[in-house]
Structure formats: structure tokens, C-alpha cells
């Protein structure tokens, strides 16, 4: 079956705030056994049966950063490597910075579209999520913000249902940026978000959770203890592709804040096939 041959490469991206000429970004392409191999995304994207999906926290992305030409160039060149990028930490009341970023990406020669979520947060500092995606590769079926009647999340997850063009293959993305002070409680509520997405979309497809979960380096009651096996997200239903031994931050202390987690569709024809390192 053609759809069963689809390969999704899941990438975690980080860009140094300095945008220096070295170490501008790093990327993980992660398989079932959680091995890393780098610089494969460009090769893989040449296959019509492979798409790359990235998660990217563009730290405090707003008017100030969008006016820095060198920063925007690096961001655009990074995003343009992938078919879909889930973006966290957009802080921009006019909501024009993400539009400008998409224009920078489009100027590189491939047409992207962007869908943004609501401005969220319990304080005056609001954040948005976004998905930027190649319109010639995937199409957006639906998108919505998780309805959170119990106010479990500071910034409710943003859910998007995508379909690969000309293929009978679809998948659900759930992006989130947890609050460090309540990371454990928020991570433990992600299964509710997954169930909500499944019930709303009802397509028996894979769900991919990706974003800045603040899922490591607990201290003073903040952040998530990655060794906590009692978390509802640590059951056999979920595969943490970014494992505890990986480092996802750029600070002098090493932490695995960012994660990509998948569920498996009950429908074998819609299961994500992980690539193996060469």
C-alpha cells in the first residue's frame, strides 16, 4: 500500500541567539531505537515518500528579533530545510513577525504557508504557536487550540491535522511550550490533549507531540523529572523519541527540555515508519 511507505523524519532544531557563523543550529533525526544521525534531512527530503517535521522554540520571537536581518536569515534558512516546522514562543502583539518570517522563507524559492494559534498565557506576556509548512508537500486539514476547561495549561497546546498531498496518509501534530513552574502537571495532562485531538479528528492516525516541554533538570519545584516513571506520559502508549541522554538546550548546563513523543495509530497503514541511520 502506497501510504505505508511514507517516512516521517522528526527533527529538533535550535538556533543560537547570537547567530554566529558556527553552531547556528543543530538537528536530530531520531529513529525507533533513539539513535542520532545528523545532516541527513536534505538527502531524505529528495524522496517523494519522505517528509521532515521539525520543532523549533524561537526564543522570544517578536518585533525585536524580526528586525534583525542576520537573525531572520538564519531562521528562514533553517525552516526551509523542513516540510513542516512547529514553532513555539512567539511573543508578538501585532502578530506580524511570523508573517515576515514566512516571507523570508518563501523568498528562498519554495512556497510555505503558516497557521498560528491564539495568543495564550495567564500573564500580560502572551505567546503563540505556529506551524509553517510547504504547500506543495502537505495540506492542512484542520487546526485548533485545545479546549482547557480546567485551566491545566498556561499555554494550551495547538493541534494541527495534516495530510500528505497525493498520498492517503495523515497525522496529527500537538505542539506545546509548558510553563517551567508547572511543567510536571502540564506534561501529565498531555494525554487529555491527545484524547481530545483523537475524538475531534477521528481518523485513527498517529499523534506526534513536539515542543519545549521543559522536561528535564528539575530544581526548586520547577521543570519535569525525566526519570519519573509514574507520569501518565511514561506508559507504553507513548514513545519518547528524544530520550533522556540527549541534550536539547544551548546553555552551559545540559538539559533535555525539548521532546518529540509519538503515539501509534491502531491502523497499520497509517503508522509512522522511523528511518534507520546509515
Tell me the pLDDT band of 264, cut-offs 50, 70 and 90: low
Distance separating alpha carbons of residues 74 and 90, to the nearest angstrom: 17
What residues does each domain of the chain span?
2-270
Residue 272: what pLDDT? 53
Domain 2-270: give its CATH code. Answer: 3.60.10.10
Question: What pLDDT digit, counting tens, does each position of 29-86 carry?
Answer: 333 322 322 333 444 444 557 888 999 999 999 999 999 999 999 999 999 999 999 9
**Region 265-271 average pLDDT:** 51
Collapsed DSSP state (helix, strand, coil) of residue 103: helix
Q: Which has the minimum average pLDDT: 5-19, 164-178, 246-260?
A: 5-19
pLDDT in tens, 240-261: 988 888 887 776 678 888 999 9
Residue spans of beta strands (DSSP E) within the chain:
7-15, 25-30, 36-37, 50-61, 84-90, 112-116, 128-134, 138-145, 158-164, 170-177, 207-212, 239-240, 258-262
Amino acid at each position: 500500500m502506497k501510504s505505508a511507505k511514507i517516512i516521517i523524519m522528526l527533527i529538533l532544531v535550535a538556533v543560537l541567539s547570537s547567530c554566529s557563523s558556527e553552531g547556528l543550529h543543530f538537528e536530530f533525526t531520531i529513529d525507533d531505537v533513539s539513535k542520532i544521525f545528523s545532516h541527513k534531512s536534505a538527502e531524505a527530503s529528495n524522496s517523494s515518500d519522505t517528509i521532515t517535521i521539525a520543532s523549533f522554540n524561537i526564543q522570544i520571537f517578536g518585533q525585536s528579533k524580526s528586525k534583525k536581518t542576520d537573525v531572520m536569515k538564519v531562521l528562514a534558512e533553517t525552516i526551509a530545510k523542513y516540510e513542516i516546522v512547529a514553532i513555539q514562543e512567539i511573543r508578538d502583539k501585532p502578530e506580524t513577525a511570523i508573517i515576515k518570517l514566512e516571507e523570508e522563507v518563501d523568498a528562498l524559492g519554495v512556497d510555505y504557508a503558516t497557521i498560528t494559534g491564539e495568543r495564550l498565557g495567564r500573564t500580560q506576556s502572551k505567546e503563540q504557536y505556529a506551524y509553517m509548512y510547504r504547500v506543495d508537500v502537505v495540506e492542512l486539514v484542520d487546526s485548533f487550540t485545545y479546549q482547557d476547561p480546567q485551566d491545566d495549561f498556561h499555554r494550551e497546546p495547538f493541534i494541527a491535522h495534516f495530510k500528505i498531498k497525493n498520498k492517503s496518509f495523515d497525522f496529527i501534530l500537538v505542539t506545546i511550550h509548558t510553563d517551567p513552574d508547572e511543567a510536571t502537571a502540564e506534561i501529565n495532562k498531555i494525554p487529555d490533549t491527545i484524547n481530545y485531538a483523537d475524538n475531534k479528528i477521528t481518523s485513527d492516525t498517529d499523534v506526534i507531540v513536539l515542543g519545549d516541554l521543559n522536561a528535564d533538570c528539575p530544581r526548586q519545584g520547577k521543570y519535569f523529572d525525566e526519570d519519573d516513571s509514574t507520569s501518565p506520559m511514561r506508559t507504553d502508549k507513548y514513545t519518547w523519541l528524544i530520550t533522556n541522554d540527549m541534550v536539547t538546550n544551548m546553555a552551559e548546563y545540559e538539559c533535555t527540555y525539548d521532546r518529540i513523543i509519538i503515539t501509534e495509530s491502531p491502523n497499520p497503514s497509517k503508522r509512522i515508519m522511523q528511518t534507520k541511520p546509515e
